[in-house]
Structure 1
Amino acid sequence: RDLLGLIIHSAIDVAKPTFFAMAIIIAALIPVFTLQRVEGRIFRPLSLTYSFALLGALVFALTIVPALCAVALRVKDTEVQEPPLLVRLRAAYARAVGWLVGHRLVVAAGVAALIVSTVIAGSRLGSEFLPELDEGDLVIFVEMPPSIALERGTDVLTEVRRRLLKFPEVLETMSEQGRPEDGTDDEGVNMSETFVHLAQKDQWRRGWDKDRLIEAMRASLTEIPGVSYNFSQPIKDNVEEAVSGVRGQVVLKIFGTDLDVMKTTLEKCVTSLSKVAGVVDLGLYRDASVPQLQIVLDRGALARAGITVGTAQDVVRTALGGDVPTEYWQNERPVPVRVIFPQAERDDEERIGNVLVPAADGGHVPLREVAKIEKAMGKAAINRESNSRVLALKFNIEGRDMGSVVADAMAAVKKDVAVPEGNFLGWGGEFENQKRAMTRLSIIVPFSFLVVFALLYTALGSVPSAFTVLLVAPLAMSGGVFGLALAHIPLSVSAAVGFIALLGQVCLASLLVVSAVDERRRRGEELVPALSHGAAARFRAVLMTAMLAILGLTPMAISTGVGSETQKPFAVVIISGLFTAVAVTLFVLPSAYSLIVRRVPAVETEDE
């Protein structure tokens, strides 16, 4: 009966701190719940799974565990002795806390050194949207001259595949030339997507990785004259085109009215960007010219003949493009009837010039007398965006992080290229997602801090105590920056989600220590003994909390399987952050508490 009462009393005692610990961890994940688009689809399920697992663990800890203890525990099972090593470590730690509280300058010096080191390490971190996912295979976008015949394009693609198959890492290739019948792509017969199926990495030549293989492929394929390439991956290629409408990681668009001026400006940008380290596959996007039959109306001649511009345009349109004056039904299906000049008439400039245009007096005038007819080179396509003509250049990034390359590219273009009046440049591509996600997090994370502070205040019943926990939290999370720097991983949305999840773990560890110290002070202990004994009492709990998280995330941090690129920054941030979190919680937090929490926290009533 005494053991059953002890179990019930213990369960009630841990119910409140356990509830608030879980609530704080879930509240810290609020920014992750608000992520949108690609990053939201990747990380929102993770945060939801984590939150539901915590809720399930809370229910299990407050119901099933006490019941199992009542059934299985005996009196002698409660007589547990701690390992001698842990006892000695706790005693040494209690003395260290007392000494550090009395020598705050030493703690301040350590904190300053940690802050400076974090700033230096953080300044050297690159940035990107998401780590590039290794999909295993490649897709190469091949663009040939726009006037190429279908048969000649097929010959070029055969040569492309022949060169690719020379690499032992390539198992098979397949090319798709032109557009599909359903019209889902706007590609001509001069464009192709060539898919490259690669062997497993353990079958590759020693010392070869994907970057080296792509570089070798690029060097071989660029020997084919008049053909440009863009190397990507199947899923990544579709995502890039969906983001900016252009195949490329980074896109620079120019908006204006004069296509010649716009193209000249972009060519200057290409020259400037070619000097930026890390830029590959640089070039104008679908800027092709094709032979055209151009008919330029002479407005003066039209006026003298009494012919309106609309009338002349209708004649040209009907003769060369055809017109649909009627339709007939065939097997329950309407079939349009198009009236158009024969092909022989449309291919002959002289015959086109003989087309008669009706005049106002009832007569007819040959088209050559009121228009200039010639063959000339013209744009294969004129693209528009936001009600304006647009041209674009694209490039991929290799060997550097996206953030630094984009910053250098913007600086180079701003320095070297003067944009003509009436035109303006717009940067786009994958980094737009990074900018949008980070901007959203910068708004939501402070709100999350407020929610966590409110929960801490509710749990501790003291504003200074809650403020102390949040004050040391950023310092405790600094290890995440060191982990990214040591692993040579750029700061990405994945790493940012890791920092968000780490906030909950840091606040949990600090809550354990501060709640123990507050409880001892309410019992009448002086500040320094309460700090030494309270922190020492939570020494084992802090270590166990951190060790469990570190061991649980280690497989994710060292994984090399498909998809591990996205998970690794998340795990590295939390694991490395927990090392500094333990140190800051155990050694810096007591000193910060002694400076901030001067008054004894209010005593909780029995009703509370």
Structure 2
Amino acid sequence: ILNEGSVAPQTIRLPSVSLPASIEIEKRMQQAIMEFPEVEMVVSKIGRTELGNDPQEPNESDPVVRLKPLDQWTTAKTMPELMQKFRERLTSVSGATFLISQPIQQRVDELISGVRTEATVKLFGEDLEVLRNKAQEIAEVLEAVRGVRDIKVEQVFGQPYLTIDIDRGKIARHGINVADVREIITTAIGGEVATRIFEGQQRFELVVRFPEQYRNSVETISNIRVSDHAGALIPLADLGTVQLEEGPGRISRDQLQRYVSIGFNTLGRDIGSLVAEAQQKITERVALPTGYRVTWGGSFENMERAMAKLQVIVPITIGLIFFLLYSTFNSLRQATLIILNLPFALIGGVVALWLTKEYLSVPASVGFINLFGVAVLNGIVLVSYMNKLREDGHSLDEAVTSGALLRLRPVLMTALVALLGLVPLAFANGIGSEVQRPLAIVVIGGLVSSTLLTLIMLPVLYQWLEGRSTGGIAASELRGGAVPTVYSVVGDTPHGNGEPRPARQSDGMPST
């Protein structure tokens, strides 16, 4: 995850929280965060903005914590460690839950799945009560998965509603219509436009409604008088039921289907294996009714899309490399021999990731693709030079031995140039190093294994394959090429059929 140099501890309260209580919770959160010496400043905003591109629930706040440079940190050495310290400290702040993320990462996660967490479980269904209960069960399962942090179940319920249920039998006895009751309720509580006021070119609507002391509780609203056809004033409580009920704060939909989201962040574990374990446990422990289903989103969904593309790109890349090798050497055998260098490179890349405890991420996958080119280049250098020696008249054994010795320095220089250029990225700790480091580690580890194994294994495989196909005869002899020979009557040796065979004096070996 990219280190942005800032932290965004999103604060989530109950939907019914008052503004003074929300401000008090925010102050206590800021005081707790400011206790860390790594924090330079905390800025918060509560509720929605006036712009529609940044929606925010009124019971949520979006603080931003600016951090000091990394070399001034004392509480933690890395961003994940510091975020975990924040989580532990904020557990003592009551009245809210906190999602620890980073500003840009938070926005990207929200654009991907609609939830500001790295991974999201979306539970689809029709009944909101069933969705809420099953979402809690899924959250309990996620708590038992190693590496899961900041579990957030979407607050479906918790919003208070004022419900006025009119008894049609009672209003009929008084000769009152439902529209009359609705009109007085609308005017008393919400307000009604009585007239318009003009001041020059400006126009204002004049809204009238009851004073606040006559509409701020269930009792006062129940005492609102409704006039019947005879002019008598009847309390609203005599015409129906007035009460506060808890209802949904919002209803989320995706493709016109209701869903409840369960979001969570990760710590100390790659998201791929974490989601795989969570999927298995949810399938085993949570029984979903018919018509209910679970989907996964967030950064995991984004990673899956990237990996799916790489599963297509990598075979195509290897295929193009093989085609170019075949067109260069005009030999299916030698093209296959050079392609065999790729597993040598994979060995070092995988071992390097394991030793450094990095994950197989998209940057690491790109590093493997970059590694394929360097590994193939080393093979081309060796094989092309061995072919040249054989065309010059040397035997197979001489070409393999001399080619491996003479091409040692060019192969090592090719690998060292790329390796040394990536060493600073592998040891970088600044902003952005989280993306660069896996790529550099894969390439460095792959270059080490590929170079060593290429210098040892490729000459052996070359001699074995060419020896089987030509029986050790020089390639130029098989192709009809002119090879300088010296004929000697005394030195002629018979073929198997008794005919004389001219002896050939080989050219001098190139010096090392």
TM-score by length of 1: 0.69
Percentage of matched positions with identical amino acids: 36
| Equivalent position amino acid for 1:484 in 2 | L
| Equivalent position amino acid for 1:570 in 2 | L
Deviations 1:484-540 (A, max 9, x none): 111111111111111000101011110111111222333443332222223333222
Tell me, in whole angstroms, the C-alpha distance in 2 between the residues paired with 1:523 and 1:324. Answer: 101
- Give the conservation status (yes or no) of the 8 Å contact 1:353–1:368: no
Decide which of 142, 158, 163 is 1:294's aligned counterpart: 163
Tell me, in whole angstroms, the C-alpha distance in 2 between the residues paired with 1:604 and 1:179. Answer: 83
| Superposition pairs of residues 117-156 of structure 1, within 5 angstroms | 132-156=1-25
Partner of 1:387: 256
Q: Tell me, which stretches of 5 or more residues in structure 2 are unaligned? A: 482-512
Partner of 2:63: 194
Q: CA deviation at 1:198?
A: 2.2
Decide which of 369, 376, 392 is 1:507's aligned counterpart: 376
For residue 15 of structure 2, give the secondary structure of its aligned residue in structure 1.
Answer: coil
Cα distance, 1:209–1:457 mapped onto 2, change above 3 Å: closer
Partner of 2:119: 250
Partner of 1:424: 293
For residue 177 of structure 1, give the secondary structure of its aligned residue in structure 2.
Answer: coil
Q: CA deviation at 1:188?
A: 3.4
- Give the conservation status (yes or no) of the 8 Å contact 1:161–1:173: yes
Deviations 1:538-566 (A, max 9, x none): 22211111111111111111122221111
Cα distance, 1:309–1:577 mapped onto 2, change above 3 Å: farther
- Give the conservation status (yes or no) of the 8 Å contact 2:171–2:239: yes
Tell me, in whole angstroms, the C-alpha distance in 2 between the residues paired with 1:495 and 1:409. Answer: 24
For residue 161 of structure 2, give the secondary structure of its aligned residue in structure 1.
Answer: strand
Please say which of residues 323-332 and 195-204 is displaced more in the overlay.
Answer: 323-332
Partner of 1:415: 284
Cα distance, 1:518–1:338 mapped onto 2, change above 3 Å: farther
Tell me, in whole angstroms, the C-alpha distance in 2 between the residues paired with 1:419 and 1:306. Answer: 50
Tell me, in whole angstroms, the C-alpha distance in 1 between the residues paired with 2:272 and 2:183. Answer: 53
- Give the conservation status (yes or no) of the 8 Å contact 1:353–1:373: no
- Give the conservation status (yes or no) of the 8 Å contact 1:522–1:603: no
| Equivalent position amino acid for 1:378 in 2 | G
Tell me, in whole angstroms, the C-alpha distance in 1 between the residues paired with 2:263 and 2:435. Answer: 25
Partner of 2:222: 350
Tell me, in whole angstroms, the C-alpha distance in 2 between the residues paired with 1:270 and 1:213. Answer: 24
| Superposition pairs of residues 444-593 of structure 1, within 5 angstroms | 444-593=313-462
Which structure is higher in helix share?
1
Tell me, in whole angstroms, the C-alpha distance in 2 between the residues paired with 1:465 and 1:302. Answer: 95
- Give the conservation status (yes or no) of the 8 Å contact 1:136–1:198: yes
- 1:231 and 2:100 correspond: yes
| Equivalent position amino acid for 2:134 in 1 | T
Tell me, in whole angstroms, the C-alpha distance in 1 between the residues paired with 2:319 and 2:429. Answer: 37
Q: CA RMSD in A?
A: 3.6
For residue 477 of structure 1, give the secondary structure of its aligned residue in structure 2.
Answer: helix
| Superposition pairs of residues 66-465 of structure 1, within 5 angstroms | 132-205=1-74, 209-295=78-164, 348-350=220-222, 354=226, 373-465=242-334
Tell me, in whole angstroms, the C-alpha distance in 1 between the residues paired with 2:177 and 2:463. Answer: 91
Tell me, in whole angstroms, the C-alpha distance in 2 between the residues paired with 1:299 and 1:445. Answer: 71
Q: Tell me, which stretches of 5 or more residues in structure 1 are unaligned? A: 1-131, 359-364
Q: CA deviation at 1:292?
A: 0.8
Tell me, in whole angstroms, the C-alpha distance in 1 between the residues paired with 2:284 and 2:180. Answer: 50
Please say which of residues 492-501 and 280-289 is displaced more in the overlay.
Answer: 280-289
Q: CA deviation at 1:178?
A: 1.3
Please say which of residues 246-255 and 329-338 is displaced more in the overlay.
Answer: 329-338
Tell me, in whole angstroms, the C-alpha distance in 2 between the residues paired with 1:303 and 1:525. Answer: 114
Tell me, in whole angstroms, the C-alpha distance in 2 between the residues paired with 1:563 and 1:218. Answer: 23
For residue 320 of structure 2, give the secondary structure of its aligned residue in structure 1.
Answer: helix
Please say which of residues 217-226 and 375-384 is displaced more in the overlay.
Answer: 217-226
Deviations 1:163-192 (A, max 9, x none): 222222222212111112224333233211
| Equivalent position amino acid for 2:293 in 1 | F
Tell me, in whole angstroms, the C-alpha distance in 2 between the residues paired with 1:380 and 1:415. Answer: 31
| Equivalent position amino acid for 2:425 in 1 | M
Tell me, in whole angstroms, the C-alpha distance in 2 between the residues paired with 1:181 and 1:263. Answer: 30
- Give the conservation status (yes or no) of the 8 Å contact 2:126–2:258: yes
Tell me, in whole angstroms, the C-alpha distance in 2 between the residues paired with 1:288 and 1:375. Answer: 14
TM-score by length of 2: 0.81
| Equivalent position amino acid for 2:71 in 1 | D
| Equivalent position amino acid for 2:222 in 1 | E
Tell me, in whole angstroms, the C-alpha distance in 1 between the residues paired with 2:31 and 2:397. Answer: 77
Tell me, in whole angstroms, the C-alpha distance in 1 between the residues paired with 2:131 and 2:346. Answer: 48
| Equivalent position amino acid for 1:168 in 2 | P
Cα distance, 1:496–1:208 mapped onto 2, change above 3 Å: closer
For residue 376 of structure 1, give the secondary structure of its aligned residue in structure 2.
Answer: strand
Tell me, in whole angstroms, the C-alpha distance in 1 between the residues paired with 2:171 and 2:465. Answer: 89
For residue 473 of structure 1, give the secondary structure of its aligned residue in structure 2.
Answer: helix
Deviations 1:194-240 (A, max 9, x none): 22222233333376654443333323322222210011112111111
- Give the conservation status (yes or no) of the 8 Å contact 1:319–1:341: yes
Cα distance, 1:149–1:206 mapped onto 2, change above 3 Å: closer
- Give the conservation status (yes or no) of the 8 Å contact 1:246–1:285: no
Deviations 1:354-374 (A, max 9, x none): 488x9xxxxxx9988997543
Please say which of residues 266-275 and 515-524 is displaced more in the overlay.
Answer: 515-524
Cα distance, 1:234–1:323 mapped onto 2, change above 3 Å: same
Cα distance, 1:498–1:323 mapped onto 2, change above 3 Å: farther
Tell me, in whole angstroms, the C-alpha distance in 2 between the residues paired with 1:168 and 1:229. Answer: 20
Deviations 1:70-116 (A, max 9, x none): xxxxxxxxxxxxxxxxxxxxxxxxxxxxxxxxxxxxxxxxxxxxxxx
| Equivalent position amino acid for 1:240 in 2 | D
Q: CA deviation at 1:311?
A: 11
Partner of 2:485: none
